[in-house]
A = this chain, B = another copy of it.
Amino acid sequence: MRIGEASKQSGVSAKMIRYYESIGLLTPAQRHTNDYRDFDMSDIHTLRFIHRARSLGFSIEEIGKLISLWRNRERSSREVKAITETHIHDLKQRIQAMQEMVDTLEHLSCHCHGDDRPDCPILEGLSNHS
């Protein structure tokens, strides 16, 4: 099947399919005589795998490792779990950092009248708070 159909069936945009191929995440698709890429169901499975991994926030690099483990029948689940745990840890840290921002911002915001007057604890917080 051609790239448009592969895109529909996998949820990965045609642009991204070409991109993943160009950076070596995907082995280059077969080509028809007219140079059009030709995907089979195995390609679709891989693309779906990538799509789901992306939606769980894995980086392209991590996905590369996951795919190679996925294809390797000799793999140890330890390796997969390690990548996943690292990623979870990473996500949690980012969540925490953002939550701290939210806390600070809400603290500032709740003291701000939010009316026509110029007095604003938010701006004060941004300028004084060292």
Size of A's binding interface in residues, CB under 8 A: 54
This chain's copy number in the assembly:
2
**Do A88 and B73 form a contact, CB below 8 Å, given A95-B98, A95-B102, A114-B82?**
no
**Do A105 and B74 form a contact, CB below 8 Å, given A81-B122, A122-B84, A123-B69?**
no
Q: Which of A23-47 contact B (CB under 8 A)?
A: 45
Q: Across the interface, which residues of B come within 8 angstroms of A4, CB to CB?
A: none
Interchain nearest-CB distance for A115 vs B (Å): 6
Contact sample, A vs B, 18 pairs, CB 8 Å cutoff = A52-B125, A52-B130, A55-B101, A70-B127, A74-B118, A75-B118, A76-B115, A76-B116, A76-B118, A77-B115, A77-B118, A78-B116, A80-B120, A81-B112, A81-B113, A84-B109, A87-B105, A88-B102
